[in-house]
Structure 1
Amino acid sequence: MELAKSFDPAEIEQFWRNEWEKRGYYAATTDASKPSFSIQLPPPNVTGTLHMGHAFNQTIMDGLVRYHRMRGYNTAWIPGTDHAGIATQIVVERQLDAQKVSRHDLGREKFIEKVWEWKEKSGSAITGQMRRLGSSADWDREYFTMDADLSGTVTEVFVRLFEQGLIYRGKRLVNWDPMLGTAVSDLEVVSEEEDGSMWYIHYPLVDGSGHLTVATTRPETMLGDSAVAVDPTDERYAHLVGKMLTLPLCGRQIPIIADEYVDKEFGTGCVKITPAHDFNDYAVGQRHHLDKLSILTLDAKINDQAPSQYQGMDRFVARKQIVADLDALGLLESVKPHKLMVPRGDRTGVVIEPMLTDQWFVAMSKPAPEGTHFPGKSIAEVALEKVASGEIKMVPENWTTTYNQWLNNIQDWCVSRQLWWGHQIPAWYDEDGKIYVARTEAEAQTQAGDKTIRRDDDVLDTWFSSALLPFSTLGWPAETPDYKMFLPSSVLVTGFDIIFFWVARMVMMTTHFTGKVPFGTVYVHGLVRDGSGQKMSKSKGNTLDPIDLIDGIDVETLVAKRTTGLMNPKQADSIAKATRKEFADGIPAFGTDALRFTFASLATLGRNINFDLSRCDGYRNFCNKLWNATRFVLMNTEGKDCGFEGHTAGECNKEKLNFSYADRWIVSQLQRTEMEIAKGFTDYRFDNISSAIYKFVWDEYCDWYLEVAKIQMQNGSAAQQQATRRTLLRVLETVLRLAHPIIPFVTEALWQSVAPLTGYVMDPAGDSIMRQSYPEARPDKIDEKAEAWMTELKSLTDACRNLRGEMQLSPALRIPLIIAGDTAYRPALQSFAPYLQGLAKLSEVQVLEDFPESPAPISIVGNAKLMLKVEIDVAAERERLTKEITRLDAEITKAQAKLNNESFVARAPAQVVAQEQERVANFSTTLIKLREQFSKLKD
C-alpha cells in the first residue's frame, strides 16, 4: 500500500474508524478456552457532550481494551449512557423556560416525551464523540440506563430489597434543593467558603436568673430550636444543665443540655440545637430525644409551625426580620463577620437546606436475612471485606483508606428523588397510606384487594441504577453467557471523586445480589485540570472540548463556545479577553492520536492531571516523525530482499544474514522497551508506557538506528544490507503493534504498508493491526555486548559533534578525523570508523597509535582520543582547554570531598561509594590527557 508523503490524521481517522466498526472487530468473543477481559464504561450523562475528563478516562480504557484484545483475550468493553435524573431534567426544563413553558404546563407524560427527545439527541452526540476518540467499545452491547431491560432489573432489585427488609420509607433529614424541589445526594452539593455573619443572641433563663448567649450563623432557624447545648466539661455552664430557656420570638421553653458535639472554644460555647434543619443537630436530637420541629416549606419559606408574623416569608427575608426583631427586644448582643462553608446545589447554585422529609432509604448497616448471599452481614460490611481480602484491588492502594473511611461511617442511603425523569419507584399507596411494593401495578392491586391505589410520584436516585450496572448490563437475573464470562469485570477505570457514590455502591449491590465482586481492580485516576491546575469550568472560562483539539478551532469560535450562556456580561468579557490572549491563533488540529498520546503521558498516579496543550504539539510531531521514518524504511526496502520467508517476521534463514552490532543493539533495546511497556500495563502506568514508546522511537530508532542503517545499506556487504533491511522492518512493525493501543489510527495506517514487506500475507477480505498479537519481550535477544558497543559509538559520535560545534564548523563541511588508541583498542576503533564518518559528517577517519604534532583540539572518550584535522585558533583552543581542565578539577574536588568524609563512606551504599571512586579515576585520567594537549599548544 502506497504511503502518502505527509500524515493527514483526519482522512486516516475517518477511514479506519468506519472500517474497524464495519468489520465487527470491536465485538466481544466468548471462547471458553481463552481468558477474558471486560470493562464497564462509566456512563456519561445525556446532558450534552463529552468533556476532557471523559476523553482522558476513555483513552485509558481503550488502551487497556486494545492491549488485551491483541493478547488474545475475550475482550468486552460495554458502553452506555446514564439518564442522569436531576441534571437531564434541568437541561430540558431550561429549554422549556426559554419557550415560557413549565413542566407542569405539559404534565408528566408530555414532559417525559420531551426528555426522551433530548436523550436521543445528546446520546447520539456522545457516542459520536467516543467514536471520534477511537473508542473500540462493543457498540452492539450499548445500553441506556432507562432501557426496558435495565429498568426491569432496577424494579427487581428494589422489590427484593424491600422484601428482605433492607429498603424502607421514613422521615429523615436530607439535602434539599428548594429550587428543584427534591432531595439531592452529597455529590450534588458543593460547599465553598463564603463571607457571612455570626449573630450573638440572648436566650433568657425561664427562672429570670439571666441568659445564655448563643452564637449562630442561621438566626432564621431558631424558630425551630429544641434545645441549647453546652460542652459537658465546660465549667462555665455546668450548673445550668437541665434548666429551661425561653426561646426568643416564640415563647416556647427549651432545655439546656450537655453534649460532646459542642466545641467550647467556638463562639460562646453555647449552641442552638435545631434537629429538623441541621445534620449535626439531628444527631444530637436523636441522642437526647428532642422534638424535630420543621419550620420551612419545601420551597424554603417559613411555615405555619412558626409565629404568624413570619409565616410565608422566604428564609432569607425572614432572617432579616428576625434579626431586626431581636435587636428591638434587646436580645441581639452583636453581629460579627464570619467565614463559613455554604452548601449550594451544583446544578442550581441555590443554598441547600437540610430538610426533614419522607424518603425511601436503603439500610446500609442492617444484617441481610437468610436466603441472601451473605446472611447476617450488612451490605456495607461485605463491601469492606471484599477490599480487605484483596478480592478487589485499588490502584493506587492509598485509595483503599478513602473507601474504608466512607463505608465505616456510612449512613442509610436516601434513594428517592422528587423528580419526573428517572425510574419511578415501584410502590403504591391506598387511601389509608398503606404501602404496596410490587413489580407491576397489577401485582400491587392484587396486594391491595379492592382498595384504590396510586403510584409513588418519586423516582430513584440515578446512583441506584448506576450501582447495578456490573450485572444489569449482563442480563441478570438470568445467568446469561455474558453474565458467566464477564462478571466480575477485570478493571474499573474511574476518577477518585466518585469512589463513594459509584464504586462503593457497585460493590455493595453486586455482592449482595450476585455473590460476586463487580470488578477485580479499581484503577483510580486524577481529575483533568487546566495547565495551571485550576478546575475546568464554564464559569472560569478555561474549558476545552476534546473534539476541538482533534479538529482545531479558530479563536473567535472558541470565545463563543466559552462565553455563550454566561449571564454576567463582565465575566463573559473577561473570559473573551483571556481566551483571545492565550489562543490568538486559535488551536491547531492535533488529531486523535496526538491527543490520546498526551492523555496517556499525563496518566500518573496523582490526584490532579494538569493538561498542557503544548504536549499535544509534541505528540503530533511524534506522529509525523513515525510517519516519515516509515516512509524512509519503505523507500529502502520495497522491492528488495529483506530476508523474510513465510508469514511472520520470525521465520527466516538467519544464516544468510550478517547482523551488525547496531542491528543487534536496536533489537536488544526493543526487548527492554517491550518489558517496560508490559510492566506499565500491569501497573496501570500509562505515563511510563507512553514514555517508553516515545524514547525508543524518537531517541533510539529514529535518531540513531536509521542513521546507522543508512551507512550499512550504503557501505555494507550484501548480507549486511539484507540484515539491515530486515531489522528496519522487523523493529518498525513491532513498534507499530506496541504503540497501537495508545495511537491506534497512525499505527494502523502505517502497518498496512509495512506488514506485507515482513512476509505477512494480508487477508484479501481485509486485515488490521488490532487483530495481531501484542509484542512480548524475548530476554534471549538482549545483547549487552552490542549495547556496550553502541553506547561507545554514541559517545564517540557526540564527541565529534561537540568538537565541530566548539570550532563552529559548518555542518556541510566534511573534514578528516584522527582517532588514537593503544594497540589492543585500535581494532574496536576501526569498527567505529565507517559509522563515525557518516554520523559526524567526516571526510575520512584515520585510526592511529598516536596523534601527529598539532594544536588542533582534542576530545577524550574513555581510552580514545579524537582530533579533527583542521587549522585552529590556538588562543581559542587554549581557552577551551582551560575551561575544561577547570571543570574537571572542580568535579574531582567535589567527589574527593565525599570520599574523604568518613560519615559518607560509612553510611552510603557500597555501590554509591564505588561510583564516586570510579568518577574520580575517570576524571583524573581525562585531566592528564587534557593537560598533555594543553602543553603542546604554542603561543
Structure 2
Amino acid sequence: MPYDLPKAYDPTQIEQKWYPFWEQGGYFQPQGDGKPFCIVIPPPNVTGSLHMGHALQHALMDVLTRWRRMQGRRALWLPGTDHAGIATQMVVEKKLAAEGIKRTDLTRDDFEARVWDWKAESGGTIQRQMRLEGVSVDWSRERFTLDEGLSRAVREVFVRLYEEGRIYRGSYMVNWSPKLQTAVSDLEVEMKEVKGKLYHLAYPVVGRDETLVVATTRPETMLGDTAVAVHPTDERYRHLIGARVRLPLVGREIPIVADEFVEIGFGTGAVKVTPAHDPNDFELGKRHNLELVVVIGKDGTMTEEAGAAFAGLDRFKAREKVAQQLEAAGALVKIEDYTHNVGHCQRSGVPIEPLVSEQWFLDVKPLAEVAIQAVRDGRTRFIPSSWEKVYFDWMENIRPWCISRQLWWGHRIPAWYADDGRFAVARSEAEARQKLELPDDAPMTQDADVLDTWFSSALWAFSTFGWTGDPTRDAANPDLQTFTPTDVLVTGFDIIFFWVARMMMMSLHFTGDVPFRTVFVTGLVRDAQGQKMSKTKGNVVDPLEVFEKYGTDAVRFSLVSAVTGANDIKLQESKMEAARNFANKIWNATRFTLGNLDDHLEQPTWQSTPSLADRWIKSRLTRVTQEVTDALESFRFHDATLTLYKFFWNDFCDWYIELVKPVVSAPEDTPERSATRGRLAAILEQALRLLHPFMPFITEELWQQVSRQAWPDGQRPTSLCIAPYPEADIANLDPAAEREMEAVINLISRVRNIRAEMNLPPSAQVELHVAAPAPLRAIFTAQQGAITRLARAAAVIGHETLPDLGFCARSVTPEGVNLALPLADLVDANTERARLEREITKREKELNQLLETIHRPGFAERAAPEVVAEKQEQRGALETQLAALRDTLATFG
C-alpha cells in the first residue's frame, strides 16, 4: 500500500505534528489579496489559564477564521493578552509574600520590574495552551495591553477626552475594596444574598418627648450619621421636619430633613443618613448640604471620627460593639433576622465599602448615545438579536465611569502635578512641563493611580492595529486601513457591559466607525447537571484534560455542535466521546479509501457513466456544501456540525463506501474500478476540506494523503488550511439520483430493521418481494446487486401488488413501497404480529405529534409556506405507511 496511515487513530501524535507545521509555515498570516476578514481575540488575562469558556469561544473563532481563509478571504485573527491590573498585582503580591516581602517594602519601580519578570517567566501559559487548541491566530501580530504602541494610544485617548471635558477629577462615592485597597466599578461588584440582621435604633428628638426609630443593617455607620430623613408628605413626621435628633453614643445633634427619596411605606418611614458611607445617602446629602463624617477607613477599620471606643476596630467587629453599646444605652429597639443582597468585590470576595474618594471619571453618556444609534442603524448587529435589548437598557441608563484604580500595575494616569498644586494632563512629562510653563529642573510628580484595565481594552479593536490618532499616519497604516472595522466579535454575554459596549463607544468616538460588524454572543459552559462551574463546587472541567482524553478535534466539535443561539451549554463527556467516535469513523473510512488507491490514479471522470451511487453522493456533497456554507454565514454552528456529521457518518461511511466497495476492492484493474476509486478519493478530499475548520488536526493529516489523488501535479496546496473551501455548484445537484438512492436505502433499511427485530441470523437468505410502481421497480432491479448484498436477501422480486406469500414479515417504506419477507420456516407468527403492532403504535404517535403541530392555532399563518408544505407531506407519508401496516396486520386474522 503506497500510503502511510496507522491503523489506530492517535490524536495526540497528530496534534503535536501539525501545529508547528502551520505556525512555521506562516499559514495563519493574511494570505493573498482577497476581501479582508478580521477577528480580534477577547484578550485573556496574562495571569490566566485556559478554561472551557475560552475553549468554546476560541473554537468558534477558529471555525470562522479557517473557513474564511479557505474561501480566499485575507483572514486575520489577531491574538493578545490583557495586563489585568488587579489580578496580576494579586498574583505577584502573593509571590512576594511567600518570600516575606510586602509590596510596600519595594519602590514602585522595583515592584513593576518584578511584575515584568513574572510575565516573562510565567505569563505565557495561556498562549501555550491556545496552541494546543489549534487556534489559527497570527502570532506575529500578538499584542499586550501594556505594549508601547497600545500604551501610547491609551495616553492619546485619555488626553483628548480630558481636553474635550469628558474626563474629570473629583470626590465622589465609589465602590471601595478594602482588601485590594482600590476603587472598583459597578460592574466589578457582585451582589450576594447574605443572612444578616436588621437593627431598629431609637434617636431621641431634641426638646421633645419623642424618638424617631430608624432601621439599618449596618449599625456601625450610625456613628457617621449627619441627618434623619422623612418623606415631606408623611403625616407621622411632618411636625418634626426641621427639628433635630441626638445621635446615640455620639451625642451629636443632627437635623430631620424632608426628601422625596424616602419611601413612606418602607420600614418606619424614617431613614438614617450617612452621606460618607452610602451612595443614596451621598446624593441626599448633596441635596441638603449635609456634612460628610468618615467613620470607616479605606482599610475597612473604624477611623478616629468614629470615636475612641471604636477607632481601629474592623468594621464588622465594630458592628457588634456598637449594637452592644446601643442596647446598654436603651437605644436598641429590636433586632430581626434579615436576608438581603450585599455587594462584594468580584476579585477579592470581600464586601464592598461605599466610600467618598477622589477619583478620575469619564462621562460616557454622550458616547453611549452614538453607540446606541450605531446598533439601531444596523452598523453593528448582535446575534442572537435579543441581546440588543440588554445592550440598549444598560447604555440608556449609563452612569459616569470611575476609571482610576489605586494600583501599581497598569497604565499610569497621564497627569503631572507641580509643587504649587497645579496639574496638567499630557501625553508625556515634557508636554506637561510645557503646559504648566515649568523649567526642566522644576519638580513634578505623576499621578499615582492607574487606569481601570477595561479602559485600555476598550481601545483593543483599533489600538492593536497601530492607531496613533494622527490622521496622516493612520491613513498610511495598511493594517489599520485593511482590517478595521473588524468583522466579528465572539464573546460571552457577561462582558457586554464591561467590554463590548465600551469598545463601541471608544471606536466610534476615535475612529468614526464601529469596532466590529457583528457581535456573536455565547452562553456559559456549565457542567453536565447545568450548574455553573466553580472551584468551590469542585465541578470545573479542565480543557487540557479532556483534550488529552478525547482529542482536541473531538472536544472542539462537541463544543461547536452544542452552540444554539446564546443558550448555555451543558458539558457532557458523552458528547465528546461521540465526537471521538466520529473522528475514528472518518479515520477508518479514509484508511479504506487509501487502501484502495493506486500511486498514480487517474483524475476522476464523472462523465464516464458514473453509477447511481456516484451520482447520489456527488449531489449529496453539493447539497451539504451549500447547507454548511449557509449555516456558517448565519452563525448556525449547530446546524453546520449536524449536517457534516450526518454526511460523513451516514451518507459517506455507512452507504457510499458500502455501495461501491465491490468495485473499488475488485482484484482486477478495470476502467470502472479506476474511475470509481478516483471518485471515492475526490468526494473524500472535498469532504475533508468542508470539515477542516471544525476538526483541523485530523483533517490535515488525512487530506495530506488523500489529496495526492485529487489534485493535478503541481497544483496541490501545501496545507489544507489554505486549500479552497468547496463551493456548491448547483449543476452538480441531481434530485433524481437522490430520490432513487433514498428509495434504495429506505428499502434496505426496512429489511435490516425486520431482520434485527426478528433476530434473523446473518446467514439466513430470504427473498425480498416488493410492490411498487414500475419506475421504482426498475430502480430496484438495476440496484439488485447492492440490495441483495446489503440486505442479505436471496433475490429482489418485483410486483405491482404483493401476492399471497403465506406467513411474511411486511413493512412499508416512506415512498409507499410495500415489502414482504417470507418467513414461514424462520419466525413465529405471533412474534411478527407483535412487531407490527409496535410499529403501528410508533407511527400513530408520530402522526399525532405531527397533527398537533399542524392544527396548532396560527401555525399555517405564521410558519413559512415551505414548512407548512413539508409537514403536510410528512402527514401524507405517515398515513400511507400506517394504512399499509394495518392491512398487513389484518392478514394475521
1:470 alignment partner in structure 2: 461
Q: Secondary structure at the match of 2:702?
A: helix
Structure 1 residue 695, shift from structure 2 partner: 1.4
Verify: 1:611 aligned to 2:571, yes or no: yes
Distance 1:445 1:822 in 2: 95
581, 593, 598: which one aligns with 1:621: 581
- For 1:160-179, list aligned pairs within 5 A: 160-179=160-179
Taking a change above 3 Å as real, the CA distance of residues 546 and 762 of structure 1, as seen in their structure-2 partners, is farther
727, 749, 754: which one aligns with 1:798: 749
676, 682, 689: which one aligns with 1:730: 682
Contact 1:857–1:877 at 8 Å: present in 2 too? no
1:585 alignment partner in structure 2: none
Structure 1 residue 812, shift from structure 2 partner: 4.2
2:883 alignment partner in structure 1: 924
826, 832, 838: which one aligns with 1:872: 826
Distance 2:315 2:718 in 1: 68
Distance 2:736 2:354 in 1: 72
Distance 1:7 1:881 in 2: 40
Distance 2:872 2:789 in 1: 39
Contact 2:808–2:821 at 8 Å: present in 1 too? yes
Q: Secondary structure at the match of 1:310?
A: coil
Distance 1:331 1:174 in 2: 31
Distance 2:833 2:373 in 1: 71
814, 817, 822: which one aligns with 2:768: 817
Which residue identity does 1:865 align to in structure 2?
L
- For 1:489-568, list aligned pairs within 5 A: 489-551=486-548
Deviations 1:408-437 (A, max 9, x none): 111111111111111111111122322122
2:236 alignment partner in structure 1: 236
2:552 alignment partner in structure 1: 592
Which residue identity does 1:872 align to in structure 2?
L
Taking a change above 3 Å as real, the CA distance of residues 625 and 140 of structure 1, as seen in their structure-2 partners, is same
1:18 alignment partner in structure 2: 20
Taking a change above 3 Å as real, the CA distance of residues 532 and 262 of structure 1, as seen in their structure-2 partners, is farther
Distance 1:457 1:200 in 2: 42
Deviations 1:560-604 (A, max 9, x none): xxxxxxxxxxxxxxxxxxxxxxxxxxxxx2111111112211222
Which residue identity does 1:467 align to in structure 2?
A
Q: Secondary structure at the match of 1:339?
A: strand
Verify: 1:459 aligned to 2:413, yes or no: no
2:59 alignment partner in structure 1: 59
- For 1:403-422, list aligned pairs within 5 A: 403-422=391-410
Taking a change above 3 Å as real, the CA distance of residues 544 and 893 of structure 1, as seen in their structure-2 partners, is closer
Taking a change above 3 Å as real, the CA distance of residues 890 and 498 of structure 1, as seen in their structure-2 partners, is closer
Structure 1, 59-68 or 106-115: larger mean CA deviation = 106-115
Taking a change above 3 Å as real, the CA distance of residues 205 and 19 of structure 1, as seen in their structure-2 partners, is same
Identical aligned pairs, as a percentage?
44
Taking a change above 3 Å as real, the CA distance of residues 669 and 115 of structure 1, as seen in their structure-2 partners, is same
Which residue identity does 1:8 align to in structure 2?
D
Q: Secondary structure at the match of 1:637?
A: coil
Verify: 1:50 aligned to 2:31, yes or no: no
Deviations 1:303-354 (A, max 9, x none): 2333333222221122112111211111111000011112222222221101
709, 730, 740: which one aligns with 1:757: 709
Structure 1 residue 689, shift from structure 2 partner: 1.6
Taking a change above 3 Å as real, the CA distance of residues 501 and 816 of structure 1, as seen in their structure-2 partners, is same
Contact 1:665–1:787 at 8 Å: present in 2 too? yes
Verify: 1:638 aligned to 2:598, yes or no: yes
Which residue identity does 1:866 align to in structure 2?
A
Which residue identity does 1:16 align to in structure 2?
W
Distance 1:461 1:664 in 2: 61
Contact 1:169–1:360 at 8 Å: present in 2 too? yes
Structure 1 residue 146, shift from structure 2 partner: 0.9
Distance 2:141 2:523 in 1: 28
Could you tell me which runs of 5 or more consecutive residues in structure 2 were left unpaired when the two chains were aligned: none
Verify: 1:255 aligned to 2:255, yes or no: yes
Distance 1:729 1:94 in 2: 58
Distance 2:141 2:859 in 1: 64
Which residue identity does 2:530 align to in structure 1?
G
Contact 1:161–1:167 at 8 Å: present in 2 too? yes
Which residue identity does 2:834 align to in structure 1?
R
Structure 1, 335-344 or 225-234: larger mean CA deviation = 225-234
Distance 2:26 2:846 in 1: 65
Verify: 1:777 aligned to 2:731, yes or no: no
Distance 1:431 1:753 in 2: 74
Taking a change above 3 Å as real, the CA distance of residues 668 and 466 of structure 1, as seen in their structure-2 partners, is same
Q: Secondary structure at the match of 2:202?
A: strand
Structure 1, 741-750 or 841-850: larger mean CA deviation = 841-850
Which residue identity does 1:401 align to in structure 2?
K
What is the TM-score with the length of structure 1 in the denominator? Answer: 0.88
Taking a change above 3 Å as real, the CA distance of residues 892 and 282 of structure 1, as seen in their structure-2 partners, is closer
2:478 alignment partner in structure 1: 481
Distance 1:474 1:339 in 2: 50
Which residue identity does 2:585 align to in structure 1?
K
Distance 2:392 2:691 in 1: 37
Taking a change above 3 Å as real, the CA distance of residues 902 and 534 of structure 1, as seen in their structure-2 partners, is closer
Contact 1:226–1:291 at 8 Å: present in 2 too? yes
1:688 alignment partner in structure 2: 639
Structure 1 residue 674, shift from structure 2 partner: 1.7
Distance 2:15 2:182 in 1: 44
Contact 1:658–1:723 at 8 Å: present in 2 too? no
Distance 1:238 1:93 in 2: 55
1:741 alignment partner in structure 2: 693
Taking a change above 3 Å as real, the CA distance of residues 713 and 816 of structure 1, as seen in their structure-2 partners, is farther
Structure 1 residue 463, shift from structure 2 partner: 0.6
- For 1:359-370, list aligned pairs within 5 A: 359-365=359-365
Which residue identity does 2:347 align to in structure 1?
R
1:569 alignment partner in structure 2: none
Which residue identity does 2:210 align to in structure 1?
G
Which residue identity does 1:411 align to in structure 2?
R
Structure 1 residue 896, shift from structure 2 partner: 13
Distance 2:859 2:101 in 1: 81
Taking a change above 3 Å as real, the CA distance of residues 69 and 264 of structure 1, as seen in their structure-2 partners, is same
Taking a change above 3 Å as real, the CA distance of residues 928 and 542 of structure 1, as seen in their structure-2 partners, is closer
Structure 1 residue 705, shift from structure 2 partner: 1.5
Structure 1, 299-308 or 714-723: larger mean CA deviation = 714-723
Which residue identity does 2:561 align to in structure 1?
S
- For 1:812-851, list aligned pairs within 5 A: 812-821=763-772, 826-847=777-798, 850-851=802-803
Which residue identity does 2:395 align to in structure 1?
L
Structure 1 residue 882, shift from structure 2 partner: 6.6
Structure 1, 796-805 or 211-220: larger mean CA deviation = 796-805
Distance 2:575 2:298 in 1: 50
Distance 1:67 1:313 in 2: 61
Q: Secondary structure at the match of 1:42?
A: coil
Taking a change above 3 Å as real, the CA distance of residues 676 and 917 of structure 1, as seen in their structure-2 partners, is closer
Which residue identity does 1:227 align to in structure 2?
A
Contact 1:491–1:523 at 8 Å: present in 2 too? yes
Distance 1:513 1:281 in 2: 37
Contact 2:840–2:882 at 8 Å: present in 1 too? no
Contact 1:905–1:913 at 8 Å: present in 2 too? no
Contact 2:628–2:640 at 8 Å: present in 1 too? yes
Q: Secondary structure at the match of 2:305?
A: coil
Distance 2:797 2:108 in 1: 91
Q: Secondary structure at the match of 1:132?
A: helix
Deviations 1:685-740 (A, max 9, x none): 22222111111111221112211122454799956545533332222111111111
Q: Secondary structure at the match of 1:101?
A: coil
Contact 2:46–2:124 at 8 Å: present in 1 too? no
Distance 2:158 2:145 in 1: 15
Which residue identity does 2:13 align to in structure 1?
E
Distance 1:901 1:54 in 2: 44
